[in-house]
């Protein structure tokens, strides 16, 4: 069932339920009031009947005429009976047809008692007089009251049907008005394809939940569009980068096979093929690494890393890297040493590649943060291109004459991101470039208490 039909059914059910309840209460109270009023009139008729037949000798002519006038004007369709109570046993046998024992007791205490049988309503009255003790019975059909009740019930049911019809009509109009924006949104979303992914939904300006939904969907479409463009660019760049070594390998093989070669020439050719295949293998591993989700990388083995000996290793293994430690030698972070090495190493490789001078590698402490600074004095990065240098396959405009594929910094950014490290870049073209990687300092005591489960590290590079 569609939402619009559910809305109509829901509100119609509520309306019918409420109206039925109101009609039932109104009908019960109306019927009770009509019956009580008719019984009261019957009781008055019984008193007038008794006065008319038993009090004539005790009243003057004027008072008696007034009694007769009242008697004839009140319930003219009623019938009265006067019964002598001298033979109470016989009288009680007759009363048992209409009154219960309790009602008969009330009757003989002088209280008027109302009764009904077979659509006949009646009132009984015990009336002691100087002529004897009498029972007055007055009966009549409440035809007028029944007609009022029937008319009231019919009118209520008609109004109920009209109310249901109005509710269904208004429900359809209102649900159509509510659902029309949703249908519009669905139609727009169905028409969005890869070739028109930049289409956005129109906000209605009502400042309601639908506008919030449209705004959220537009933000989601922005993210999808950005991811789609990034993936498309990634696939295109990856294909291009992979085709280069393959083309070089194929070309080398074709040239080598064109004629007989000396063993040394074959060796040189194989060496070039090996170099290109190694470059392609490294590129494939890097691409596989980037394709991993952050959750997979976060689950890799983590352990305390003492940064002073960790960074000093780079200074020993890489040319022109000068390490300076401005801490007490106990600077520690929690990370996967293998992944952290890849992240720092890629930044250092870029610094060595784009600078002829020494590279400064510094370790500092800033409050409860540890800062690794990598500064080179080479070609720098154009200011307007700094926000894009962590994109896969992106290379700055002043690096065209240098080898590379634009993967290294993307790898570093991905690894540093999972360890919540902040990367700041200070650069000036043809002057220097400084990367500042800021970590939260590790609390060894808390780590030992938590003792998280460890997984095997990725063997990617």
Q: Say if CB 14 and CB 21 are below 8 A apart.
A: no
* Residue range(s) in the chain whose domain bears CATH number 1.10.287.130: 209-291
Q: Residue 249: is its pLDDT beyond 90? A: no
What integer pLDDT is reported at residue 461 of this predicted model?
45
Tokens of 125: 């009255």
What per-residue confidence (pLDDT) applies to 111? Answer: 85
Q: Which of the two residues, 392 and 293, has the higher pLDDT score?
A: 392
241 close to 410: Cβ distance less than 8 angstroms: no
Torsion of the alpha carbons at 270, 276, 282 and 286, rounded to the nearest 10: -160
Instruction: Tell me the DSSP string of 31-87.
Output: HHHHHHHHHHHHHHHHHHHHHHHHSGGGS-HHHHHHHHHHHHHS-TT-EEEEEETTS
> Residue 359: its pLDDT value, please?
93
- Tell me what pLDDT residue 192 has: 78
pLDDT in tens, 194-212: 677 777 777 777 677 778 8
Residue 173: phi and psi, rounded to 5, are: -65, -45
d(CA 218, CA 200): 6
Average pLDDT (367-380) is 90
pLDDT in tens, 103-116: 888 888 888 899 88
* pLDDT beyond 70 at 217: yes
User: What average pLDDT score do residues 363-369 get?
Assistant: 88
State what percent of residues in the chain have pLDDT above 90.
13
Return d(Cα 388, Cα 399) in angstroms, integer.
Answer: 14
Confidence category of residue 415, pLDDT binned at 50, 70, 90: confident
Residues whose CB falls within 8 Å of the CB of residue 264, separated by 6 or more in sequence, listed in order: none
Q: What would the two tokens of residue 110 be?
A: 């002088």
Phi, psi of 323 (to 5 degrees): -100, 135
Query: β-pairing, 359-366 with 113-117?
Result: unpaired
The pLDDT value recorded for residue 255 is: 86
Give the model's confidence band at 457: pLDDT under 50 very low, under 70 low, under 90 confident, else very high: very low
For the chain, where do the domains classified as CATH 3.30.565.10 start and end? 295-450
Tokens coding 29:
């109270």
Cα–Cα dist 348/328, whole Å = 23
The pLDDT assigned to 376 comes to 92
Confidence of residue 412 (pLDDT cuts 50, 70, 90): confident
pLDDT in tens, 174-191: 777 777 777 778 888 887
- For residue 435, the model assigns a pLDDT of 93
Q: pLDDT value at position 362? A: 93
Q: Which of 70-74, 188-192, 251-255 has the lowest mean pLDDT?
A: 188-192
* CATH code of the domain made up of 295-450: 3.30.565.10
Residue of 230 and 375 predicted with greater confidence:
375
Range of lowest pLDDT (167-171, 363-367, 430-434): 167-171
- Two structure tokens written together for 148: 């009022």
What percent of the chain is predicted at pLDDT more than 70? 88
Pick the CATH number of 209-291 from 1.10.580.10, 2.40.128.110, 1.10.287.130, 1.10.760.10: 1.10.287.130
Judged against a pLDDT cut of 60, whether residue 452 lies above it is answered with no
DSSP per position, 334-384: EE-HHHHHHHHHHHHHHHHHT-SS-EEEEEEEETTEEEEEEEE-SS---GG
**pTM score above 0.85:** no
Q: How far is CA 86 from CA 95, 187, 275, 445, in A?
A: 14, 94, 138, 111
Question: What sign does the CA torsion over 29, 30, 35, 39 have?
Answer: positive
SS3 207: coil
Q: Which residues contact 202 (CB under 8 A, 6 or more apart)?
A: 184, 214
Average pLDDT of the chain is 82
pLDDT value at 445 more than 60: no
DSSP string for 105-174? HHHHTT--EEEEETTEEEEEEEEEETTEEEEEEEEE--HHHHHHHHHHHHHHHHHHHHHHHHHHHHHHHH
- 287-342 residue pLDDT tens: 666 665 555 555 567 788 889 999 999 999 888 999 999 988 788 888 888 888 88
Q: For residues 349 and 119, what is the distance between their CA atoms, to the nearest angstrom?
A: 108
Kindly give the interhelix angle for 209-257 and 263-291, rounded to the nearest 10 degrees.
170
pLDDT per residue as tens digits for the range 23-71: 889 889 988 999 899 999 999 989 898 888 888 778 888 888 888 888 8
């Amino acid at each position: 069932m569609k939402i619009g039909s559910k809305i109509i059914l829901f509100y119609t059910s509520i309306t019918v339920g409420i109206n039925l309840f109101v009609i039932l209460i109104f009908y019960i109270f109306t019927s009770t009031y009509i019956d009580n009023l008719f019984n009261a009139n019957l009781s008055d008729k019984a008193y007038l009947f008794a006065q008319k037949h038993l009090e004539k000798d005790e009243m003057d002519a004027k008072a008696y005429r007034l009694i007769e006038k009242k008697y004839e004007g009140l319930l003219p369709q009623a019938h009265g009976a006067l019964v002598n109570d001298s033979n109470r046993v016989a009288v009680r046998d007759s009363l048992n047809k209409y009154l219960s024992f309790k009602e008969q007791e009330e009757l003989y205490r002088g209280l008027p008692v109302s009764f009904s049988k077979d659509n006949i309503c009646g009132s009984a009255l015990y009336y002691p007089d100087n002529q004897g003790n009498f029972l007055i019975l007055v009966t009549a059909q409440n035809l007028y009251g029944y007609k009022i009740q029937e008319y009231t019930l019919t009118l209520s049911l008609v109004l109920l049907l009209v109310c249901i019809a109005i509710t269904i009509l208004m429900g359809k109009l209102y649900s159509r008005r509510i659902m029309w924006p949703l249908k519009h949104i669905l139609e727009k979303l169905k028409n969005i394809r890869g070739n028109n992914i930049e289409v956005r939904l129109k906000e209605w300006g009502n400042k309601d939940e639908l506008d919030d939904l449209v705004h959220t969907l537009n933000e989601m479409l922005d993210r999808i569009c950005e991811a789609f463009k990034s993936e498309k660019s990634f696939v295109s760049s990856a294909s291009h980068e992979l085709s280069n070594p393959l083309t070089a390998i194929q070309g080398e093989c074709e040239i080598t096979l064109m004629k007989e070669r000396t063993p040394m020439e074959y060796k040189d050719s194989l060496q070039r093929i090996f170099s290109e295949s190694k470059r392609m293998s490294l590129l494939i591993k890097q691409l596989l690494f980037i394709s991993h989700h952050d959750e997979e990388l976060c689950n890799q083995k983590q352990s305390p890393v003492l940064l002073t000996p960790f960074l000093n290793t780079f200074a020993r293994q890489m040319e022109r890297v000068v390490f300076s430690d401005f801490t007490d030698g106990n600077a520690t972070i929690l990370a996967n040493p293998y992944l952290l090495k890849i992240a720092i190493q890629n930044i250092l490789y870029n610094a060595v590649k784009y600078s002829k001078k020494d590279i400064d590698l510094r370790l500092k402490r800033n409050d409860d943060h540890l800062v690794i600074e990598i500064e080179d004095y080479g070609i720098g990065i154009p200011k307007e291109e700094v926000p894009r240098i962590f994109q896969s396959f992106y290379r700055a405009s002043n690096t065209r004459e240098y080898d590379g594929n634009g993967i290294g910094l993307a790898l570093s950014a991905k690894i540093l991101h999972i360890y919540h490290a902040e990367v700041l870049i200070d650069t000036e073209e043809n002057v220097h470039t400084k990367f500042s990687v800021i970590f939260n300092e590790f609390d060894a005591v808390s780590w030992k208490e938590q003792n998280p489960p460890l997984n095997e590290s990725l063997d990617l590079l």
